[in-house]
Amino acid sequence: MTDLALPRGATQVGLAVDVAAFAMHASELHVLLVQRGELPHARDWALPGGFVHPGEELHEAALRELRTETSVELEPRHLEQFFTFGEINRDPRGRIVSVAHLAVLPHGTVSVSGGGHTLGAEWMPAHRTPKLAFDHQAILDRALGRLQLRLEYANLALEFLPDTFTLPELQGVYEAILNRKLDKRNFRKRLLAQGSLTPSGERRSGVGRPAQLYRRAKGTRTPAL
Amino acid sequence: MTDLALPRGATQVGLAVDVAAFAMHASELHVLLVQRGELPHARDWALPGGFVHPGEELHEAALRELRTETSVELEPRHLEQFFTFGEINRDPRGRIVSVAHLAVLPHGTVSVSGGGHTLGAEWMPAHRTPKLAFDHQAILDRALGRLQLRLEYANLALEFLPDTFTLPELQGVYEAILNRKLDKRNFRKRLLAQGSLTPSGERRSGVGRPAQLYRRAKGTRTPAL
DNA sequence: CCAAAAGTGTTTAAATTACACCCATGC
DNA sequence: GCATGGGTGTAATTTAAACACTTTTGG
């Protein structure tokens, strides 16, 4: 491999990543937002994101922005690129192309606080967010669409839950993402039939009858796509 | 909107597009390839593509590259971005991020010749291509996957055909893309049931019994996605 | 009348939907 | 013993898959 110069006329653009990071809280799907501390759009809420560093892969940049703009400590259980936003005027600072990523964080990722250049970070209900900076509402909409698609294909719902979980909890994840109610009996039938769950033997007590705990069956990791 | 400077540390990268353009020829799915005339990878076959110009939208760049690198005269009937390839070392000239596009050209787009910096352009069977430059085989593989997905969702198969077409022709498109045979009776049942085809009244004669001609039913344009 | 491709229906299996009551526990 | 949430089965409908022969035309 020879090292060659870029041809003349090759547009140099700012390369950024944005991350729509989802998690479940209180039976509702939440998305992680940060409050911007700088112009443009200072004080507006936005998806975490920023510029890719030299020598950094796209997914590494996505992870870094997630970690530094928020105090999220946990590794995402799923991370995928889903669309690239490149409209000329999407950012007033110049031509900035953003490769948007979808991330799933496990349950328990509750407390976040701002970091880096942000004033703060918060989990907000994904289906009703405040006005967002730039074209981030469009990015979020597309992320939600992709999330719903992935629910059917991959077992992506499992990534929202801890290692062991109950069937009503899993159903709650589906309902929060699809934004509609599902029939309990049909849901259980379908999920158990596909054989990707193993009963752990334990049960979880709370109010009402204790629920059977399940875990992901061996050899059913979410495919890489 | 204030005009602001890019922050320090913002990576500037070369922004490119590549296009996997498909069409049907002789009952086989073909992809449009160009033979490179310059380093790197001179004389290798590659997907048409190149750098985005300043002030040019991503899809405009994709269309321009398609037109200038090949002599394809027709408008694509479908064009969508499907993945962004950004690995650090995918191009020996430096950090070049390519937004890959999938295009569908209508039937009849037969003759192509090289243009611009290419030595030539050719339609090649999509499922068995020569060794390709850069990571273009990976791009093509992903394009084929996306094409198969779209077949189910949207009526993307119709975009491969002229305005009027026969059911056996349409089935041929499905079979070429899915790379397997389909049952004639079930295929017709399914397609006619979904009500997106209207018989034109005409028939097409050739060898054997003449076939009924159909056209796309009104109000069933392929969704924008 | 023969070759070639178009066209047509039925049966079976599988998947999806709708739907209502009993069970186990904590207080 | 009662409130709370967990758990279970069946019938009806829809959808998908398998499968072979007849029809129309040109030569």
Res A5: pLDDT: 63
A137 touches chain B (CB under 8 A): no
User: In this complex, is the C-beta atom of A224 within 8 Å of any C-beta atom belonging to chain B?
Assistant: no
Backbone torsions φ then ψ of A213, nearest 5 degrees: -95, 145
- Contact criterion met (CB below 8 Å) for A92 and A112: no
The CA distance from A81 to B141, in Å, is 17
Is A40's CB less than 7 Å from nucleic acid strand D? no
Q: Cβ(B126)–Cβ(B45) under 8 Å?
A: no
CA gap A88, B80 in Å, rounded:
17
Residue type, B178: L
In a 13 Å sphere around the CA of A19, the CA atoms on its Cβ side amount to 32
Q: What is the pLDDT of residue B170?
A: 97
Q: Which helix (H) or strand (E) holds A211?
A: strand A211-216
CATH 3.90.79.10 domain span(s) along chain B: 14-128+137-153
* Confidence at B7, pLDDT banded by 50, 70, 90: low
Does any CB of chain A come closer than 8 Å to the CB of residue B124?
no
**Domain spanning A14-150: which CATH class is it, in words?**
alpha beta
What pLDDT, on a 0 to 100 scale, did the predictor assign at position B154?
77
Per-residue pLDDT of chain A (225 residues; tens, 9 = 90+): 444 566 666 677 789 999 999 999 989 999 999 999 988 999 999 999 999 999 999 999 999 999 988 877 778 999 999 999 999 999 999 999 999 999 999 876 655 676 668 888 999 999 999 999 999 999 999 999 999 999 987 789 999 999 999 999 999 999 999 999 999 999 999 999 998 999 999 999 889 999 999 999 988 876 666
Instruction: Specify the CATH number of the domain B14-128+137-153.
Output: 3.90.79.10
Average pLDDT over residues B197-218: 94
A58 phi and psi angles, rounded to 5 deg: -60, -45
pLDDT at B206 over 50: yes
Are A49 and A135 spatial neighbours (Cβ–Cβ below 8 Å)? no
Distance A193 CA to C14 C1' (A): 13
The pair phi, psi for residue B87, each rounded to 5°, is: -55, 145
- Decide if A209 contacts A200 (C-beta within 8 A): no
User: Where are the strands (E) in A4-72, listed by range?
Assistant: 12-25, 28-36, 45-46, 49-51
**The pLDDT value given to residue B1:** 39
Task: Specify the 3-state DSSP secondary structure of A100.
Answer: strand
Give the per-residue SS3 of B177-220.
HHCCCCCHHHHHHHHHHCCCEEEEEEEECCCCCCEEEEEECCCC
Q: Which residues pair with A212 in a beta bridge?
A: A203
Q: State whether A51 and B93 contact (CB < 8 Å).
A: no
d(CA A50, CA A63): 11
In chain A, list all ranges with CATH 3.90.79.10: 14-150
Q: Tell me, what's the pLDDT at A152?
A: 80
Q: Does residue B168 have a cis bond before it (omega within 30 degrees)?
A: no
A210 touches strand D (CB under 7 A): yes
Nearest-angstrom CA–CA distance, B67 and B63? 6
Share of chain B above pLDDT 70, in %: 90
Average pLDDT over residues B57-65: 96
Q: Supply B11's token pair.
A: 């990576």
* pLDDT score of A1: 40
Q: Which residue's structure tokens are 């900035």? A: A96
How many other C-beta atoms can be found within 10 angstroms of the C-beta atom of residue B130? 11
Look at residue A2 in the predicted model and tell me its pLDDT: 41
Read off φ and ψ for residue B34, nearest 5 degrees: -120, 150
Question: In chain D, which nucleotides are within 7 Å of a protein Cβ?
Answer: 3-10, 16-20, 23-26
Copy the structure tokens of residue B24. Answer: 């049907």
Q: Which residues bind near strand C, taking a CB cut-off of 7 Å? A: A 183-186, 189-190, 203, 205, 207-210; B 166-168, 184-186, 188-189, 203, 206-212
pLDDT of residue B2: 40
Q: What confidence score (pLDDT) does residue A114 get?
A: 65
Domain B156-216 has CATH 1.10.10.10: yes
Q: Where in chain A is the domain with CATH 1.10.10.10?
A: 156-216
The mean-pLDDT minimum among A45-54, B9-18, B160-169, B179-188 falls in B9-18
Protein-to-nucleotide distance from the CA of B203 to the C1' of D26, whole angstroms: 15
Greatest CA separation for chain A = 70
What is the distance of C-alpha A32 from the center of its chain?
Answer: 8
In angstroms, the CA A30 to CA A7 distance is 45
Instruction: Provide the residue count of chain B.
Output: 225
Instruction: Quote the CA–CA distance of B222 and B215 in Å, as a whole number.
Output: 14
